Amino acid sequence: MEWSRGAVAAIGAFRRLATDGFISPRDIIIALGRDLLPGDSVLGDGMRNPETGVNLHQVLRDGPFNQGSPSVIGIELDAEKQARADGVRRVGERHVLAALPISSLQQYGVKVEELKATVEMTELGPGFIEGIADRWHGLLDTSEIIEYTDVREIDWRHEVRKPRVTLWVSGSVLNELDRLSFRGESDRVRKRARTFTRGLLEGSKLEEALSPQGLVLRDDGAVRLRVWAPQTMMGLRDTDHLEAAFGLQERGVPIVVITGDTSLIARAKVAGIQAWRPPDELQLKPDPSPREKELELRLRRAELQKPPLLSLEATYTSVANNPAVDVWLTNAPEGGEAKDVTVMWKTDGATNLDTYNRVGGATFGRVQVGADLRFHQSIPATLPPGSRYPIAQLIFQAPPQSIVYEVWASGSHRRLGALRMVDDKYVATGDEQGKTEAP
């Protein structure tokens, strides 16, 4: 059975004093309070503290009481028995304390109940009473926070098929997120880590997450977030995440590890802890590799060098309850970027036609007719693929039956086209539909 570092230190101190294999209650106090270095053991620190342990000077000065001395091996075996009774896989210092001759220690003035409370608080954190029953409890791993949809956007009740859900975050995960927020391998990793630690848990929200009620995450409190950060579990490794799961389990929380890490899932299952992998559709698209980024940049440059595919569109609208037609310049999605565009166009079949300029967001002013009896307009904007740009608005008594146009753009051949009225709509028709000609 595994033992915690502090429990091993305590037993080691007992063995050093128990030359014959047995140790008296007085020597137990001396081993813990005098022979262990500060920080080696919670039991040792607590035994030296007069508020939780005993007046060590008095114990050293006074002689031993006439009491029986348990064997060190007996203490060890009893501590393991106590751990098994708790349903845990690691012997902690609270189990060592439970295996000691309590009544004999109390005769020396040891405040056993205060010492027990100190050890349990340090090893396990505050007790959990509220918000445990009738809820599904999941422990978030770093991979879930970084590589999957934001925890606030996931419909947890649907995913785990439970009406109430509590998500837990351990101190070890928060430590790792703090590190990734500055030293993550990509901008996305750094941003997502900061979003969780500096956004979701900023200020008073962290206080709420530390409370027994937890932080309301979504669904009017049906899904909540709680932070658990005991002093003994603040590392960065996957084993620290598992320790957090064991600790919650020891506190009566039926915890499930949430992770996309197959290795962590396997180790959790071997250790007897349930694990749940979020479905693939919640996983974010992986960041592109350096080679993929270079390829994407080259393709983008090639896309910009493609000639644009420009044409006109016309759609019905109304102005002051009068029929009107809006004329648009469009660039097809499969085309390249359009710059320095000039459009020449004319209408046929309209009566009492007024043509108003809409280039550059203009709301007044007519479009001027050139010597060739066509409208001439220069477009100052750059049109990316898949965009459209308003150039004119037509007001009339009878609408035009056709619009014939010619478009020029920097680095592009001339584009010819025509729009004709078909069933009260303007459609591109005939051989002139988006035809390209060399200059």
Helix (H, G, I), strand (E, B) or coil at 106: helix
Helix (H, G, I), strand (E, B) or coil at 181: helix
Phi, psi of 263 (to 5 degrees): -65, -45
> Does residue 267 surpass a pLDDT of 70?
yes
Question: Nearest Cα to 421, choosing from 395, 435, 401, 392?
Answer: 401
Q: Is the dihedral of CA 195, 196, 200, 204 positive or negative?
A: negative
> Does residue 41 surpass a pLDDT of 70?
yes
Token readout for 287 is: 């960041």
Q: Which residue has the higher pLDDT, 259 or 230?
A: 259
What is the structure's pLDDT at 315? 94
> For residues 151, 153, 157 and 161, what is the CA-based torsion angle, rounded to 10 degrees?
-90
All domains of the chain, ordered by start, with CATH? 2-124 (1.10.1780), 136-282 (3.40.50.1010), 305-437 (2.60.40)
Q: In this structure, what DSSP letter does residue 359 have?
A: G
> For residues 285, 291, 297 and 303, what is the CA-based torsion angle, rounded to 10 degrees?
-90
Question: Nearest Cα to 123, choosing from 90, 80, 84?
Answer: 90
What is the structure's pLDDT at 238? 45
List CB contacts of 204: < 8 A, sequence separation 6 or more: none
Q: Which residue has the higher pLDDT, 131 or 377?
A: 377
Phi, psi of 145 (to 5 degrees): -70, -35
> Does residue 173 surpass a pLDDT of 60?
yes
CA distance 172 to 166: 18
Phi, psi of 163 (to 5 degrees): -75, -25
List CB contacts of 115: < 8 A, sequence separation 6 or more: 43, 46, 47, 52, 53, 97
Confidence of residue 126 (pLDDT cuts 50, 70, 90): low
Angle between helical axes of 238-250 and 262-270 (0-180°, round to 10): 40
Contact status, residue 345 vs residue 374, Cβ threshold 8 Å:
yes
Token readout for 284 is: 């974010």
> Does residue 230 surpass a pLDDT of 70?
no
Contact status, residue 166 vs residue 212, Cβ threshold 8 Å:
no
Confidence of residue 331 (pLDDT cuts 50, 70, 90): very high
CA distance 29 to 13: 10
Q: Alpha helices, DSSP H only, in 195-311?
A: 204-210, 238-250, 262-270, 290-305
Of the listed ranges 61-75, 96-110, 135-149, the least confidently predicted one is 61-75
> Does residue 159 surpass a pLDDT of 60?
yes
Ordered DSSP codes for 394-413: EE-SB--SEEEEEEE-TT--
Q: Which residue has the higher pLDDT, 287 or 278?
A: 278
What is the structure's pLDDT at 235? 45
